[in-house]
Amino acid sequence: MITKETIRDWFVELQGNICDALEKTDGKGKFISDPWERAGGGGGVSRVITDGNIIEKGGVNFSAVFGKTPEPVLKTMNLPVGDHPDFYATGISIVLHPVNPMVPIIHMNTRYFEMSNGIWWFGGGIDLTPHYVNEEDAKTFHVHMKAVCDKHHPSYYPAFKKWADDYFFLKHRNETRGVGGIFFDSLKAENGFTKESRFDFVKDVGSAFAPIYTSFMTKNSALPYTEKEKHWQALRRGRYVEFNLVWDRGTKFGLDTDGRTESILMSLPPQAQWVYNYQPPAGSAEQKTLSLLKKEINWAG
């Protein structure tokens, strides 16, 4: 039988495995471990890496929190605000900001949520945010994500790829955050899916993270770059900040449930820039990247 403790323990193991793989590939950076407690119940461990050979700043965070469901969360779920059932939420959240602009930013989140009224669901996803879109890397990434999805159901990849396109979209900029990936939420027992099958899928998504990202670290971290590319990286990091602070539901959920602010905002880069009405030169690599930041590109072929 799958319990919230079973799921929690697997996320703890996943956190350790991912941190080990990232440290080994980086070759210099080491994760610090920062346990924390939530006043309303539960807590977590934030593991943060800085000043590595490849990763400038990143975090692999675990949490397991519980208590009375906050009113903003009930409203989001269209549930009566007067009931205040208990909730339990656990998961892993990862964001990595590389030194080299040719290495993409990556994000992953896998989570489980349940309430004392019997409601439960899984959510999560992985998406890739290159500073410079390398079409070969984008295809490799999506083929990998499709294989993970196809193992569990043929409907998963097309549905979750579209969900990622729609979710990781900066409406105020009319551009996607990156080349997308997969995103899913509210996966419950329905249409033949069980808690076991949903959890098996989430485990495969989590296990896919380290192999695919460490391959990009190894492939791209030695590529040359200049201050021009670093400036563009800072501008693209600015877009990342905009999404996380304006649109990201995970950020809002964490703050609404009195999560640890330092851990929630770990996703922000060490430096970012905003230049008024910046327009990259026509025909430049920067302009090409902007042209590829749009929905519905069939990267998996």
Say which DSSP state 37 is in.
E
Residue 150 carries which side chain, given as an amino acid letter?
D
Give SS3 for 126.
strand
**Structural contact between residues 113 and 88, judged by C-beta atoms closer than 8 angstroms:** yes
Of 33, 5, 17, 59, which Cα lies nearest the Cα of 208?
Answer: 17
Does 97 qualify as catalytic in the annotation? Answer: no
Residue 282 makes CB contacts below 8 A (sequence gap 6+) with none
Nearest-angstrom CA–CA distance, 189 and 210: 28
Q: Which two tokens stand for residue 8?
A: 């929690």
Sort 82 into a burial class: Cβ within 10 Å, 0-12 / 13-18 / 19+.
Answer: exposed
76 membership: H or E segment, kind and range: helix 71-76
33 within 8 A of 61, measured Cβ to Cβ: no
Annotate 159-184 with DSSP letters as a single string.
HHHHHHHHHSEETTTTEESSSEEEEE
Residue 66's beta-bridge partner residues? Answer: 88
Among the listed residues 84, 97, 107, 144, the single catalytic one is 107
The 3-state DSSP class for residue 68 equals strand
- Cα 134 to Cα 46: distance, rounded to the nearest angstrom: 31
DSSP letter for 25, please.
Answer: H
| Lookup result for tokens 């800085």 | 50
Please state the φ and ψ torsions of residue 127, each to the nearest 5 degrees.
-140, 155
Give the catalytic positions in this structure.
107
